Amino acid sequence: KSFEGQVALSASAAFVAAPPRKMACRKLFAALLALAMSPQAAGVTWVRGGPGKNCDAVCSARGGCDDKAWPKSENAFEKIMKLTGFRCETVQEGGSRYDPSTDGTHCGWSGPHKDHIEEDEEFSRCAALGDKSTSRFCPCIADKEL
């Protein structure tokens, strides 16, 4: 009986010690999952703005827009779509100052080519506007509204 009591006590002690460890593992798993699911990439948080908004407006409460974080390939843009939870029916290069953007169905990912921009022209893709039906994908500096 003495041996059985020790086994029961040991099992009980192990059970009592296990929940905090399990809780810590669960919290760590939840934090890692939240990080993996957040729309962050390359140090920015990608946000799909509302129609007719430029990225300066979309990112104003998120530390501003990072004008150096634009996608450099269609593959990079596809990652941004995945991060924002948006899927385009078609994706094309685009080439507009307000790209990456969508009309709700079709998307363009690449901004204008350097040879289409005057050298002395001050140029910010963050400030560029599409038409009233165009939603931009914006690289915001902070992951939450400040």
pLDDT band at 14 (very low <50, low <70, confident <90, very high): very low
Whole-model pTM: value is 0.67
- What is the C-alpha separation between 14 and 143, in angstroms, rounded? 40
Which value, to the nearest 10 degrees, does the dihedral of the CA atoms of residues 33, 63, 129, 119 take?
Answer: -110
- pLDDT (0 to 100) of residue 33: 37
Which is more confident, 118 or 76? Answer: 76
Q: pLDDT confidence of 15, banded at 50, 70, 90?
A: very low
* Average confidence (pLDDT) over 81-90: 95
CA angle at residue 43 from 39 to 45, to 5 degrees? 30
Q: Grade residue 29 by pLDDT with cuts at 50, 70 and 90.
A: very low
**78 backbone dihedrals φ, ψ, rounded to 5°:** -60, -35
> CA nearest 53: which of 41, 67, 42, 65?
65
Residue 24 or 94, more confident:
94
In this structure, what DSSP letter does residue 115 have? G
Q: What average pLDDT does the chain have?
A: 77
